[in-house]
Structure 1
């Protein structure tokens, strides 16, 4: 699972950097919040999850692992797309509010599931 999270994290890093470059070139920073969420939730949190899997959750295979991965990724995607549409003025906030709420709850549930997996994991012995 660590490689899956790293691959996804690097994809978000590329997307976030491209949006940042576009904002700099256009002198339009209206997507700053979207840019920050792509890099923080998409890249940084996914990368931290990869490190957790690599160092502490090695070989952990369960339904919870897959659910946690997809909860985080779907939640992040909902947030990123919703924020892009909202800050781009393409869709009203009233319409996007519930979608952003669902995305936020999915990301939160992914974090809670990661904590549960981490607590349940057996410490490595030297």
Structure 2
């Protein structure tokens, strides 16, 4: 399984600077299933851009960094640390991958392969800003 996290323009830099993605406690039941080595993706809801792939560096946990994302005025305690090598981006993923319906969090293995294939096909830009 892989997992999609969401960010905003306000939280995106912090996600990359801390190599930490978070979600609300409401989604902890799903987030807690993330294990070390699982693929993770990030969608910026303001721009509609998907970034990835990332790899979970450890099992997800509540409040790995209890101060993360506080500047957004929201609480995202369901967290996972990530690492990355080559980060690609996919513009308008919802129009290109029909299975991305709404704000789903978990992807099946088949959906993960389709997403990775699309990222590689588009292979448009590397993201160096956070490297």
TM-score (norm 1): 0.34
**Structure of higher CA gyration radius:** 1
Q: Which has the higher helix share?
A: 1
TM-score (norm 2): 0.33
